[in-house]
Structure 1
Amino acid sequence: MDTPGNPPRVVHHSTESPAGGKYLESVGSYLIRVASEPQLIYCPVTDRVGQFGPLNQSGRALRNDGTRRTNREGRVCIQIEVLGYAKSPWTNGWDPAKKPGWQKILSAARSWGVPDVFPAGPPAKYPGAGKARSRSVWQSKGGHFSHGDVPGNDHQDPGAISTVKVLYKATAPADPAPTPAKPKVSVAHLVAAAKKDVPAAEGHTTYPTEVRIVEDALVAEGLLKREFADGSFGSKTVTAYAAWQRSKAGGSYTGSAADGVPGLASLKRLAARHAFTATT
């Protein structure tokens, strides 16, 4: 490149030909024959991409601006010929989100530091009056240009393509939020709480955090009134847990097996229904 210290850029062309089918091959061959090939050629119908040469070497699709070689402007001057007509912009009815081939082109341009901007403004409508071809903007600004923006050239392609669609950036779906770890409730702690809290003064707590998890589950099951879910494994909680043990969901226990003091099996059943983990 002649001016590698100048910003990197992309130049958009249109081939003034149909798209689809084998036009990518036929137009590509023609561009080689007439020594006017860019670095890339793209078909918006098939999403196919062809490459003529390295992106950091000069294309041949631009005219010089006097003695200044526009094909060699900037760190890179990546030129893209897109199959289509300037009078009917190829972005019409085209969905960039469904075009991985085009996304690869943009990714390659971005890898060379080409910013997602059109520093000379959006490409002009064709036919039309065209735009001023500012040498200062062309030489000093990085980003995307239309052929109609390049000084020393008289073509007005690619027409009024959508800059929003052209610069579309696919985003990866956000990683799902990690599932919070389930709280753990030790059956040994519950047994200890039942033994200590029942005979103690009202409101006494031994393992209040774990007891409260179980009490909230018993409230949800309709076995304990909300006002008694206070972290103390008192007599009301014992009665409620005994009702859980006797229930079908709790294991249909009877007799001393349904005394209101938790066992691991009944606790696991309760845990499975209320998002906590029962441990020994």
Structure 2
Amino acid sequence: MTEIWIKEAERLGGGKIGGDMDTPSAPPRVVWHTTESGTGPASFTAVASYLTKVASEPHILYDPTTDRLGQYGPLNQSARALRNDGSLRTNRTGRVCVQIEVLGRAGQPFTSTWKPGPNFRALMRAIRSWGVPDVWPAGRLAASYADNASRSRSVWQTKGGHYGHSNAPGNDHWDPGNIDQSAIFKAAGASGGGSSSGGSTSTSTYTVKSGDTLSAIGTKTGVKWQTIASLNGLTAPYVIKPGQVLKLKATSSAPAKPVVSVAHLNTARTKDIPAPTGHTTYKAEVLVVENALVAEGLLDKQYADGSWGTKTDEAYNAFRRRTGYTGDAAKGSVGLESLKKLAAKRGFTAKA
């Protein structure tokens, strides 16, 4: 199932940034950019506002140091981050052309210092849902402004996969810099299909091509078509579509979610705030909540240390206000209801 809106991402702007794709039958692709800015909550807020102000919105804004993820518009429509190449509207090329602005600078490749987490994996999950293969069709990325990385128009129009802004025809930027291309896929987890030679099988998934049937896919992959149908919830008449990603084997069980106790958080809050800076009571559980608040853009990463200090308290209150709490309900002791809301968004379990 293709993803138009990423459920883990914050909504940025008004939700409408472009229009229909010009060549929806062309292969899907992704373009990586850097914002040429700092990182962290303040930069995320400033850049998010600036891109809207100058009408240069991408689909996605991502902070590689906090794993914060924002989305401006639907992935099945165009964004505004590329220049046209003459009459070729580069933003509208392909089944999708997902534009990702990463906080950082081309001269300091973000894969050298990043901390990808569940939000990055969610981003890649959505990208792969459109059948974007784990390849870089244009080859290497530019290592400097003067570096002439490939900007082939024919490759751009005919090959799906991942591109840098430095690979887009009609554009002169060199971002995202010389990032580790393989690190993008490693951080995302299991492959979503595709190979540099144009194939589309992997050990766990298969991307449907035009003319494919379940029987033909079974022959290609060595997996019984009945098994493929069962794994993907398909029933007669077994309709599949080009670009659809099919599972070829059962997904392994997800690791257990961390459990956070409201009682433990309130004990930590009572003891850590008046104690010397850095005092911890239930460090592991507090750290889970602090990392969730960092991902929400409400707490600076430097304060995620397992100690429930005043910065953590203020950030948690801000989360409560964001989710509709007012007055006394938006401050003071941690409540189970608000903690469950944070847990649902950030992958942990809340208990009394």
2-side partners of 1:71 and 1:92: how far apart?
28
Q: Is the 8 A contact 2:59 2:75 kept in 1?
A: yes
* 1:88 to 2:122 alignment: no
Give how far 1:164 is off: 1.3
How many residues of Structure 1 are paired with residues of Structure 2 in the alignment?
173
Q: Which runs of 5+ in 1 are unaligned?
A: 176-280
Deviation at 1:173, TM superposition (A): 8.4
Q: CA deviation at 1:94?
A: 2.5
Q: Is 1:56 the equivalent of 2:71?
A: no
- Give 1:129 shift: 1.6
User: Counterpart of 2:168 in structure 1: which amino acid?
Assistant: V
The match for 1:170 is 189
| Aligned twin of 2:53 | 33
Please point out which of 172, 190, 204 is paired with 1:154.
172
For 1:77 and 1:30, locate their aligned partners in 2 and report how far apart those are by CA, in whole Å: 22
Which residue of 107, 117, 124 maps to 2:142?
A: 124
Q: What one-letter code is carried by the residue in structure 1 that aligns with 2:177?
A: G
Q: Distance in 1 between matches of 2:145 and 2:85?
A: 23
Deviations 1:102-149 (A, max 9, x none): 111110000011111111113221244231310111100000000000
Amino acid of the residue matched to residue 116 of structure 1?
A: D
Q: Which residue of the partner structure matches residue 6 of structure 1?
A: 26
C-alpha distance in 1 between matches for 2:24 and 2:252: 37
Task: Tell me how far 1:93 sits from its aligned partner.
Answer: 2.7
Deviation at 1:41, TM superposition (A): 0.5
Identity rate, percent: 57
Whether 1:16 and 2:45 are equivalent positions in the alignment is: no
Q: Once the two structures are superposed, what CA deviation does each residue of 1:183-225 show, in whole Å capped at 9, x if it has no partner?
A: xxxxxxxxxxxxxxxxxxxxxxxxxxxxxxxxxxxxxxxxxxx
Which residues of structure 2 form unaligned runs of 5+? Answer: 1-20, 191-249, 254-352
SS of aligned partner of 2:149: coil
Alpha-carbon RMSD across the aligned residues, in angstroms, is: 1.6
Instruction: Say if 2:145 and 2:173, in contact at 8 Å, map to a contact too.
Output: no
The whole-number CA distance in structure 2 between the counterparts of 1:150 and 1:66 is: 12
Matched, 1:46 2:33: no
For residue 134 of structure 1, the aligned residue among 125, 147, 152 is 152
TM-score by length of 1: 0.59
Could you say which residue in structure 2 is the equivalent of 1:231?
A: none
Structure 2 Cα separation of the partners of residues 32 and 170 of structure 1: 32
Larger radius of gyration: 1
Question: How far has the Cα of 1:174 moved from its partner?
Answer: 4.8
Aligned mates of 1:130, 1:108 — CA distance in 2: 31
Aligned twin of 1:101: 119
Task: Work out whether residues 67 and 115 of structure 2, in 8 Å CA contact, stay in contact via their aligned partners in 1.
Answer: no
